[in-house]
Structure 1
């Protein structure tokens, strides 16, 4: 079994574990507070934390490899974390709009939302436990699996846009609840973009925590009717009666988040290049003219650039740089060896088989929740 296949297996086991734990807790008669806390502790810490880690050590590599594959070891620009806080506020605000639009869409299709008591904030201690269960644990363990592990599975996929889209949509499916699918996809795409651009999931953890923590604090404030709660209720009344104006602010927030994400990409580019020297070497470089001949640019002490020039030379001449003129012919044994090596390194379709099973499994459950809501 290849590494990609094994990582896909770990992801599939995690998805199935989520479904099993959800079914178990559905039939356990506990209070809403206790059920939510136990579910988060068991699923987040065990099913998304300990079990994947043990499977990784047994099938793939050691602890150091785990940090690298799950995107925890890559150095990033320190300002990325500060920018992630701002992006977290924007994601929360935009998700208010996304949730509203998604709610209207589902209701128009005849979907009935489930009724539940929700968290009862009988004391400040409940707020602390709720923040731990809904903000801290998901920010850590969901990012490890939904971004870190998925990026490891898709490591050989060079199309960043495709990777971001797959991970974003999969994040929606992993909630396995049609009511959460739309807003989750938006947040998933933002956090996937950040993880892809800096090769580290810590900024995404910050965004994830900010989004969930703000919602939890506002729910608490609304229940206890403090100043923040009254302000939030006033905002809800405002946007429900001035939807077009509020929609314009959501559009402005989307523009701001696009600008912020571009800045995030730029500030982390050099950090990514240090670990992936060929990151920006996608186009052939401009030739440097010396006398009558043009050669690809080459900086003596830049290993990544040198590696790219070797690759570039192969594609043009079918022989390694420095080869004799007679060797740069077609068919070339050098070029044949190079082509064979590239084909051998390419991921076969079946290596993604268990990932496809994971996507299908989560999508089927999400579809079932939609059908169940229509029949309710």
Structure 2
């Protein structure tokens, strides 16, 4: 538990280190481009995030969390990836439904995400690089450590809670925790990050796409209408149950078998 929390704190420290490394250069750029450093924070956000990713990746590699484990990068089977995608889509829809009823939770990072999504580097960080790094950290390191110390159920619950709290944004914590449970369970079943990364990228990329394409729409129900939305919700629940059943039949020994 201490190691898991330490890893999360180290990641936060790496983001601070990234800010320290990037800010001087963005201040110089802002001054040269606009004659003032007031806009430096806007320019610094995406590069800071990227620098933090790189620093944390180096740390995880240096400490051996990402090496010596071939199963960690196993593509698993084609059918398992398919059901992972189905489960991911289902979870995304169900979390959207839940969050549409928790609108009282403040969104502290809304402006931050708007800034990130205003440039290609920020979009890549949020939709692709962020999910990959977070899976390397939370499943490849944190969940792995927890599974060695606790029984699977406890390890999955702690991993999901840490993942949710890590987002430090009330509007994200509940949804991230639930998704964290699912991703930790998938890692437990396969010991592979590939299906986890797939789902995480799907979730973040869809969120970015909808935010940019429909900036005035907060939830899917506002986009497709209530009757269709409720039907889609029922279908999502059924698909989640089916995908869980199919994925639960897999054993670690056969998740790497091509089909």
TM range (shorter): 0.7 to 0.9
Counterpart residue number, 1:11? 7
TM-score, structure 2 normalization:
0.74
Residue from 222, 231, 235 that aligns with 1:236: 222
Check the 8 A contact 1:88/1:207 in 2, yes or no: yes
Offset from partner CA, 1:129-158 (integer Å, 9 cap, x none): 344111111121100111110122123246
List aligned pairs for 1:44-123, cutoff 5 A. Answer: 44-47=53-56, 49-54=57-62, 56-57=63-64, 64-65=67-68, 67=69, 72-74=72-74, 76-104=76-104, 106=105, 116=111, 118-119=114-115
Residue from 143, 159, 163 that aligns with 1:167: 159
Check the 8 A contact 1:18/1:43 in 2, yes or no: yes
What is the CA–CA distance in structure 2 between the aligned matches of 1:167 and 1:233, rounded to whole Å? 27
1:99–1:31 distance in 2 versus 1, CA, 3 Å: farther
Counterpart residue number, 2:243? 260
Offset from partner CA, 1:60-108 (integer Å, 9 cap, x none): 8xx742x35xx5145722322222222332232223213222323x3xx
List aligned pairs for 1:99-248, cutoff 5 A. Answer: 99-104=99-104, 106=105, 116=111, 118-119=114-115, 126=119, 128-157=120-149, 159-222=151-214, 235-236=221-222, 239=225, 242=226, 246=229
Check the 8 A contact 2:18/2:55 in 1, yes or no: no
Counterpart residue number, 1:339? none
Deviates more, 1:147-156 or 1:32-41: 32-41
1:133–1:32 distance in 2 versus 1, CA, 3 Å: farther
1:22–1:245 distance in 2 versus 1, CA, 3 Å: farther
Offset from partner CA, 1:280-302 (integer Å, 9 cap, x none): xxxxxxxxxxxxxxxxxxxxxxx
Offset from partner CA, 1:291-333 (integer Å, 9 cap, x none): xxxxxxxxxxxxxxxxxxxxxxxxxxxxxxxxxxxxxxxxxxx
Offset from partner CA, 1:142-185 (integer Å, 9 cap, x none): 00111110122123246222221111111101112222101101
Asked if 1:43 corresponds to 2:52, the answer is yes
1:211–1:12 distance in 2 versus 1, CA, 3 Å: closer
Counterpart residue number, 2:34? none
SS of equivalent to 1:271: coil
1:95–1:157 distance in 2 versus 1, CA, 3 Å: same
Q: Which runs of 5+ in 2 are unaligned?
A: 28-37
Counterpart residue number, 2:32? none
TM-score, structure 1 normalization:
0.54
Q: Which runs of 5+ in 1 are unaligned?
A: 224-228, 275-376
Offset from partner CA, 1:205-242 (integer Å, 9 cap, x none): 0000000011111222225xxxxx99x99951554xx3
Aligned length: 242
1:194–1:8 distance in 2 versus 1, CA, 3 Å: closer
Q: Give the aligned CA root-mean-square deviation in angstroms.
A: 3.8
